[in-house]
Amino acid sequence: MQVRFSATRCAKLALPVLMAALPYAAFAQSTAGLPAFNTSPGPNGGTTYSLSVQTMLLLTMLSFLPAMVLMMTSFTRIIIVLSLLRQALGTTSTPPNQVLVGLALFLSLFVMSPVLDRAYNDAYKPFSDGTITMDQAVTRGVTPFKQFMIRQTREADLALFAKISKAPPMNGPEDVPLSLLVPSFVTSELKTGFQIGFTIFIPFLIIDMVVASVLMSMGMMMVSPTTISLPFKLMLFVLVDGWQLLIGSLAQSFVS
């Protein structure tokens, strides 16, 4: 199957970064009288260049955007499950970390495609056309992500952080601030990821126990059970089409 990347798709990929950067862009525009680079005469007739405070603050905020985007998507659950699968199989470096992260990123993009499409059509496109203001674009762009996170967040986790922060009573999910929703969402994703990882561990743990019992009954104390059980675990995973089951279950877990 041929995959084509267009300019529209690239814009959708960059949409969360743009939405998070809009408030800081507004701050920079409010101080438009200050240039990005300040020049001053240096010694021996040279010129010294320095960054303005606003530009430094903007660059500092941009450095936190990747972490913010990862914490607001399905990446956390997916990478945890894939890492636990590798540990359950007993392959310490196969698949390598680069493959796991890449698979988690593209699977997250697949899961988040409806959210990105909605944010692009409701916020970025009207803002680029000049039909809505920047404040409206930020509100519309964040709303799909908030709805996605609320659907995946447990009420107990949300109540815990609301109690810790002493947040005022909220009338509905739309009133939940991001400062309260994001940590609640991440906590719920960690719990869900470990629950899925536990169910993945069980069949491979049974194989390890059976192999260890057989080796002990044969008096082969010096043989590592992990080395003997690895081919059986790989064979089991391949016979049941484990990758399809795992990736399909992960994607459907966000839909349900």
Mean pLDDT of 32-55: 52
Nearest of 241, 235, 256 to residue 89 by alpha carbon: 235
pLDDT at position 53: 58
pLDDT at 79: 92
Distances (CA, A) of 226 to 43, 89, 229, 230: 68, 9, 5, 6
**pLDDT for 222 beyond 70:** yes
How confident is the model at residue 18, as a pLDDT?
Answer: 45
Task: Determine the average pLDDT of the residues in 211-217.
Answer: 83
- Give percent above pLDDT 70 in the chain: 76
When pLDDT is averaged across residues 142-171 and rounded to a whole number, the result is 86
Q: Are 104 and 75 in contact (CB under 8 A)?
A: yes
Q: Please count the other Cβ atoms lying within 10 Å of the Cβ belonging to residue 30.
A: 10
Q: What is the mean pLDDT of residues 230-247?
A: 88
Q: What is the pTM of this model?
A: 0.72
pLDDT at 28 over 60: no
Report the alpha-carbon distance of residue 154 to residue 51 in Å, rounded.
44
- What confidence score (pLDDT) does residue 198 get? 92
Residue pLDDT, tens place only, 91-111:
878 888 899 999 998 998 898
User: In whole angstroms, what is the distance from residue 216 CA to residue 243 CA?
Assistant: 32
Output the average pLDDT for the chain.
77
The Cα angle at residue 65 between residues 180 and 255, in degrees rounded to 5: 60
Q: Which residue has the tokens 């959210």?
A: 115
